[in-house]
A and B are shown apart, each in its own frame.
Chain A
Amino acid sequence: MCNKIRKLFLAIFSIGLLLAGCKKWEDHNRITDENIALTLLERLQANPDLSTFTDLLVKSGYADTLASLKMFTVYAPVNAALSSITASLENDNQALKAFVANHIANQAYYSDSVAETQRIPMLNGKYHDITSGTIDDLAFSSKDLAAKNGVVQVLSAFLPFLSNTWEFTETDARMPALQKELMDSVENLFGTRVHNLKDESKNFTLFVLQDAAWQSEVNKFKPHTVVTGNADSTTKVAGWMVLKDLAVDVLYKSAAQIPDTIISKSGVKVGIDKTAIVSSIKTSNGMVYVMNRLEVPLQHKFREIIIEAENYTSASHNRLTNTFIRDKRDSATGNIFRDILVYNHGVAMFNLRYRLTDIPAGKYRAYWMALHDNINNMTTTFNQKIGVDSANSPLPAYVPVPLNTYAEQLAGEFTLTSYRPVFNLFLTAANSTTATANPIVCNYIRLVPVF
């Protein structure tokens, strides 16, 4: 009943009430810039100098995308810039799509809103670096053509659709064979331990060695990468030793920008001799420099190893109640350090094991810092030793721990004859069950390769 009454009333009076038109709102909401009422596609179509790109848009199917009401930025090359490439795109729809999408980004990037260099994704998954007036160092010839759903930046050249650095190493003919071969075989390892060169959102610089340079560098490291009974593996490990320091996640756009020495992700200093650059290749996510020589000295490549004693992998017996992690102040430097003390454990030759990886072959000199600060009012010294591969290896020998000495002490020398993917080092207490004779104390152990 109510509904009937309501309908009747509404029917009678709605006509009369419609007369109050909303002219005031029309005035207030009128679009002040006609262009803002246009979609990006309409905006592009209205510009004759962008007709070639607009045609490509339509052909590629991205025109529909630009007519939708999400925000985009279109980096539109002028007709003249496209004359050289249209032919090649004509019959390759996939390439066309990739090419067109390489010029469209989600969200509107007005020149004003980009304060510093940003790396932004394009619809094809590639990224470009933009500043307020440039994209990949290409200046806008006309900027900030605003539309309803975004903005058009006009370019005097197109943005080439490039491979990324990893794709370069995989597919490009300019890639030297030997390094390519190794990189192929360590694809995942390189991606996780060094840099993921497939990541479009970042920029990388990769140095590539020509075959001869590669071979000589690999040969240089072979004595330290001996895998017993497997020459191939020896070569491969040596190759990895070379390769792991050849990529950085910094973009050096030109040789001039490269510093004399770069520091690789694993901390190795790599000296770059710019005269050795044979060629440079731009990729979608960085630069590749082909070198005919890139030598890293052994002492740079093989760096000393510091083992924090309290970070042991395992103990020979469960003596957690006798194990003390101590924070101490180094009276010499004034810095705080943390060491480990195992006291009154009651086990002869109690030991802590340290699991190390990727240890090259060679001779090592071991140092430790072991502070015997009158432990439990002891006034006598005690002995401890470093064990190589086993807790009671013959070498190095037991070394006494002097009283109240903060300085580093030589703990002995040992030689590894082969490359060790995994290597166990031990810190072993005296062969005694007496509490005052068999403590273990150590801040750190330092292994210094000796060449």
Chain B
Amino acid sequence: MYNRLKPVLSVTLAVLLAAGAYAQNNTPADSNTVSASHTGGMVIEGVVKDAATGKGINGAQLQVKDFSAAIADTLGHFSLKIPNSTATVLVEADGFDARLIAVKYKETLDIVLQSKIIHSFHDLLVMPVGSQYKKFLTAAAEQQQPDGWQQPLETIDAWLQGRVAGLNVIRRSGLQGAGANMFLNGINSLYATNKPLIIVDGMPFDATDYGESIIANNYTNPLNLIDVKDIDNITILKDAASLYGAKGANGAIIITTINAGGRQATQIDAGVYAGVNIAPNPLPLLDAADYRAHLSRMLTSKGMGAAEIAAQPYMNDDPAGAEYYTYHNTTNWQKKVLDNSLSQNAYLRITGGDNIATYGLSVGYMKNSGIVKNTDLERYNTRFNADFNFTEKLTGSATLSFTYSNQNLKDQGIADKTAPLFNGLIKAPFLTDHIVAADGTVSPNLAGVDMLGIGNPTTIIDKIEAFNKYYRFFGSFKFKYDISKYFTASTLIGLQFDKVRESYFIPSQGLVQDTLWNDIATNRMASQVKQLFSLFNDTRLDFNRNFGYVHSLKASLGVRYQNNRANQVNVITANSATDDMVSVQNGLAALRRVGGDMGEWNWLNTYLAANYGFRDKLFLSLNLALDGSSRFGIEAANGLTIAGRQFPLFPSLSATWLLSSERFMASSSIDLFKLRACYGISGNDDIGNYTSRYIYTGQNLLGATGSVRKWISNPGLQWETVSKLNAGLDLAFWQERVTLGLDVYSNRTTNMLVYQPLQTVTGFSTALTNGGEMQNNGVEAALNVRIVNRRAFKWDLGANIAKYKNEIISVSGSAIYTDYAGATILTTAGQPVNQFYGYKTEGVFASDAAAAAAGLSKENADGSYSAFKGGDIHFADVNGDKIINENDRTIIGDPNPDFFGGITNRFIWKGFELNALFTFSVGNDVYNYLRYRLESQSGVENQLQSVLNSWRTDGQETTMPKASWGDPMGNNRFSDRWIEDGSYLRLRSLNLTYNIPLKPNAAFKNIAVSLTGNNLFTATKYLGYDPEFSASVSPLAQGIDTGLDPVFKSIVLGLRLGL
């Protein structure tokens, strides 16, 4: 441990010593210049008014920072000393948004303050180093202040959906806590991460799910460990993330959790919530009677004779038959696996302190059941944040959080034998879940695998055991020493440690048995442990000075170091003696497979951030980072060579001109007019821990164990380089009731990781290289309007919209074809990164004659050709050779939206507050894998009602091809039949809160009752449970509905008490 800490400590010490040495040279006079007023300058007078009423605000506070301060009188009049006529006055008043007013040579100021507006340019944003007013920012960044009290069960990634222009948040599934994939400003990488860097209280929060879950398609989402109510504010940094060097390519999300905010009075907030999660409407499947007709069609197509089919027990309609009651039910299997469920949440937060220390602490409990029966998520979260004043100059802070979650899961997505939802869809509706006697008596015992070879969904719900237990400690200590008035040194040491423990058991009864390579698995069991340990230090020296209130300079020089270790161990085995023996040690030793992974990586980041301001209207920022990483190849190019290793330099330069603070706009009605430009280079170090190294892996050859090369190492492997050019415009007018932000950006990823195809003689099919290049351009806008601004009634409307266009410049080889869930995804130059690549269809051949006229055929496995006939799909013969094969594939869809965003709406009327958030995504194509399975008519599975239209007779005009066992003609191949428009408009959340009016001396400070509905309404043409899903973090797997548990509606009733 000491060895690990050594570099951290030595760097920290060096910086502190240097800072200390510098401080000695300062004159003591400089260190106590803070006073209420300065000599020199001039006096300005004016009035501060409430925008809603037009009346003066009594007690409004005005100040020129570090220069002067004043308080307005009862009518709002004030007089304030200012250093010069280009100064900026900060005006604050209780219940109002603060405002920064540029004097602009005026002699009187007529200041109007708005009550709290959702997005104000005067917000103080937490930036990578220090805080800055949004008005003076050179970067494209914005702040969100989540009101977790209104949406208590959200994870923070999902909460951000629809709120930030350019942040495309796609929820992974309806699984509790699954969260969302976030793409900020488009797609920047093919195989490395596209997730923004997440910083919580100054320390990177590792939000990656390392290693696969042993529970099918489960994603362990670390962000679920943060209670939204614990979050004070979030800064979304879209560019100028160069400061994070090789981790800044996708921007950053900077989360600040609760603190006392300098208030020493004790504030206690408690909330209790109860809610109901509403199962989605069932898909329209065939009912028992229609299914039986469909099944007999399928069996005929299989080649069974009429007598044989008539002899099947489900065809015998004689109630005296021994199996009549087994095969004559009308079961809605979807209702057997999906059900409404409850959620509970309790939360307590206390903030307060004294002049030595202030603190914020919280504890929370949540239990949220899933809409798939027997799934739930239980979470216990604690947090303790504190700020200390050790001495006048030495301050410190601690942020400590520990969260434990326990999740009861089921398989989901593509897991044909074990996923409850999928089995609930395909199971024959004429069966029931319990054994039925000849006289119709229902046994309490569950039915086994049916004669059609499909398992019992109720058994899956009741008997499969899949648990995920997860805890994480995330904490840091920070010390800050004010060396002088201008210099500050600080260091932060933090630790995150987490452990995921999963166990999994599949019983033998009632489920289709799995085939292992050397046995038939009756029951199966698995266990997995994943651990992450991460140590972080950020030590820096800050300089902050303004020169005569004309020039200001803020600069920081620092170094960050992070050491990470992750490991994963899993055991998978099968065939324990009975279904009561569920743990892995009971499985057969011969079937036991033990696997795992270990990784260790280090990151060293030296950075310089310098912000220069001129008369609070012109700003320049320079960010520089010099990164070292254990992941970079030793022969990587494009970096500075230090001690034989490569250190890439990531600079960014940004500038802002606040035109509205210029004299020529002094009389303009435009409150704020600002132009921004930023160019920066940042990197993506998510290239794998050891991909540049020589690695050996175990290999079995005829019973002997040996080691072979795992891959062809590429010592030249380097970070991906992302160059970002961003230009923006911010506008506010109508007393800042209207604010508008507009950004255009152009990102170019070079050295992009690609798998280079290799010659066969190498023994490997691919090698990882930096051979790709990608361009990502976009535009985004955010508009917020306070439409009605009366004392009793306020209406805020906001909208944000974004569009990106992604284009591959080059990949090694001509194209990359990725197969996923039966789809082929094309990545090729000149096209967006992820294109659905398949067959175009032109309907169904109505007759044999029509098919013969088209003259199309397909090649069979044995080299013979089969002609398409009536009832087959008419695939477009793109290359005109009359043979339908892979050369006829073309681009059939694009999962990237044309545009996406959100609309926020807030009404405040007396004690009532109504918030509505709509989200939308338009023009994104979706591959409906689930519908492909439910309309393929190639087996005994139950299907959608649409197959009633399937082609039967020569000359029948229909869109549904004929039922054919095993689909010999490939009518169900990946084609535009399965591509749908995934556009949607959704009422993402609707919240009504009533703040009960209380007398000033009441027992409670405040009582609020809130009612929240999530996903209440979704307008979409998508033929599935829900158009929103994200099967993987990879951009290549977006827009593919693999049948994960769907996003669902929920309603939560809450009570919040303040003491």
Q: Which residues of A contact B (CB under 8 A)?
A: 2, 5-6, 9-10, 13, 16-17, 19-20, 22, 24-25, 28-29, 31-33, 36, 68-71, 105-108, 110-113, 120-121, 143-146, 148-149, 151
Contacts and interface: CB of A to CB of B under 8 A. Distances in A.
B953 A112 contact: yes
A69 B289 contact: yes
B427 to A, nearest CB: 19
Contacts of B306: 105-107, 120-121
B946 A28 contact: yes
Contacts of A110: 952-954
B1051 A24 contact: no
B757 interface: no
B860 to A, nearest CB: 17
Given A24-B1023, A25-B1023, A33-B958, A121 B948 contact: no
B349 interface: no
Given A6-B276, A33-B949, A105-B306, A71 B297 contact: yes
Closest 5 CB pairs of A and B: A144-B953, A69-B289, A107-B306, A9-B276, A29-B945
B293 A69 contact: yes
Given A144-B955, A151-B952, A112 B870 contact: yes
B274 interface: yes
Contact of B949 (A13, A17, A31, A145): A31
A112 B871 contact: yes
A144 B957 contact: no
Contacts of A20: 281, 1017-1018
A144 B954 CA distance: 7
B1017 A13 contact: no
21 contacts: A9-B276, A16-B1016, A17-B1016, A25-B945, A28-B946, A32-B960, A33-B949, A33-B956, A36-B949, A71-B293, A106-B306, A106-B307, A108-B297, A108-B300, A112-B869, A112-B871, A121-B307, A143-B953, A144-B952, A146-B953, A148-B948
A31 B953 contact: no
Contacts of A9: 275-276, 1051, 1053
The secondary-structure label for the interface of chain B is mixed
Contacts of A69: 289-290, 292-293
A13 B958 contact: no
Contacts of B841: none
A120 B290 CA distance: 24
Q: Which of A16, A20, A107 has the most CB of B within 10 A?
A: A107
Given A29-B946, A36-B948, A70-B293, A10 B340 contact: yes
A32 B949 contact: yes
A106 B310 CA distance: 7
A29 B955 contact: no
A70 B953 contact: no
A146 B293 contact: no
A17 B293 contact: no
A146 B952 contact: yes
Interface string B907-949: 0000000000000000000000000000000000000111011
A255 B289 CA distance: 48
B293 A149 contact: yes
A70 B284 CA distance: 21
Nearest to B955: A144
Contacts of B340: 6, 10
Contacts of B50: none
Given A29-B945, A29-B946, A32-B949, A148 B293 contact: yes
Nearest to A23: B1021
B758 interface: no
B278 interface: yes
Interface string B269-294: 00000111010010010000110110
Contacts of B300: 71, 107-108, 113
A20 B959 CA distance: 26
B317 interface: yes
A107 B275 CA distance: 51
B998 interface: no
Nearest to B954: A112
B315 interface: yes
A105 B307 CA distance: 10
Contacts of B805: none
A149 B294 CA distance: 9
Interface residues of B, number: 50
Interface string B996-1022: 000000000000000001001110111
B311 to A, nearest CB: 10
A218 B290 CA distance: 61
B276 A10 contact: yes
A239 B871 CA distance: 57
Interface string B303-317: 000110110000101
A24 B984 CA distance: 13
B15 to A, nearest CB: 57
A274 B959 CA distance: 56
A6 B342 contact: yes
A28 B980 CA distance: 12
Contacts of A149: 293
Contacts of B290: 69
A132 to B, nearest CB: 9
Nearest to A24: B1021
Contacts of A113: 300
B818 interface: no
Nearest to B291: A69
Contacts of B956: 33, 144, 146
Contacts of A13: 276, 278, 1013, 1051
Contact of A17 (B275, B278, B296, B1022): B278
Contacts of A145: 953
Interface in B313-366: 315, 317, 340, 342
Contact of B317 (A16, A24, A68, A107): A68
A17 B1013 CA distance: 10
Nearest to A8: B276
B1049 interface: yes
Contacts of A6: 276, 340, 342
A398 B342 CA distance: 101
B67 to A, nearest CB: 56
Nearest to B294: A71
A70 B957 contact: no
B848 interface: yes
Contacts of A2: 342
Nearest to A5: B274
Interface in B948-981: 948-949, 952-960
A16 B954 CA distance: 46
B814 to A, nearest CB: 37
A5 B342 contact: yes
A28 B954 contact: no
Contacts of B278: 13, 17
Given A9-B1053, A144-B952, 16 more contacts: A9-B276, A13-B276, A17-B1049, A20-B1018, A29-B944, A31-B948, A36-B949, A71-B296, A105-B306, A106-B306, A110-B954, A112-B848, A143-B954, A144-B955, A145-B953, A151-B952
Contacts of A25: 284, 945, 1023
A22 B284 contact: yes
Contacts of B949: 29, 31-33, 36
Contacts of A105: 306
Contacts of A24: 1020-1023
A174 to B, nearest CB: 32
Greatest chain A CB density within 10 A among B276, B290, B340, B1018 is at B276
Interface in B1017-1059: 1017-1018, 1020-1023, 1049, 1051, 1053
Contacts of A33: 949, 956-958
Interface in B439-480: none
Nearest to A12: B1051
A347 B96 CA distance: 128
Contacts of B289: 69
Contacts of A146: 952-953, 956
